[in-house]
Amino acid sequence: MDIWEVKRDMDRAQWEFSPLVSVGPLRFGMSSDEVCATLNCAIDAVSHGAFVQKFTEVGVTVFYAESARLADVAVDALKGPQVRLGDTALVGCVPSEIERWISAHAKAEGLDLRYTHEGNPGSVDLGLIMRVQRAGDVVLSRPLFLIREWALEPWDYLQGDEWSTF
């Protein structure tokens, strides 16, 4: 797989998102050991005193709160699992389509809708921020799934590694 190749949906693991509860097999509040056992693969990189772990093989980066409990899951747009909320695919999608979806979903469900300092849409009620990631000459959706506290002020909690990913 070259650096810009994007996995097809049918070649990705298929995960479900339960807002503020879980992302696929990962449940918010898990310890690092539990996350590693669940993903059953090697950690490729650790930073900020083990508060960030990158699982390149799976296409997932996880962030832990100071309590050493899982607080955020970032899914790689190019090769991470496809994560769905109901029938809606959230990973590797066209950003404008995802923005229309989250806006309509928030309105229909009476949820908040806000934008990050980068202009990415998100919802504290969902624990979701829809970031983007470069894939050659295009950008695709790279969702962040967060606990409520982190979704309120993500730039206060997420280390620089996340904000420099594009």
Q: Given this model, what pLDDT does residue 153 score?
A: 86
Q: Which residues of the chain have pLDDT under 70?
A: 1, 42-50, 159-161, 163-164, 166
**Cα–Cα nearest to 165, from 45, 69, 10:** 45
Query: Does pTM surpass 0.85?
Result: yes
* pLDDT tens digits for range 53-69: 889 889 999 999 988 89
Q: Given this model, what pLDDT does residue 148 score?
A: 95
* Residue 3 to residue 21: CA distance in whole angstroms: 32
* Residue 122 to residue 130: CA distance in whole angstroms: 6
**Cα–Cα nearest to 143, from 8, 154, 57, 29:** 154
**Cα–Cα nearest to 43, from 58, 28, 29:** 58
Domains in the chain: boundaries: 9-157
Q: Given this model, what pLDDT does residue 42 score?
A: 66
Q: In what order do the strands lie in the sheet with 60-64?
A: 45-47, 52-55, 60-64, 70-75, 138-146, 128-135, 121-123, 114-115
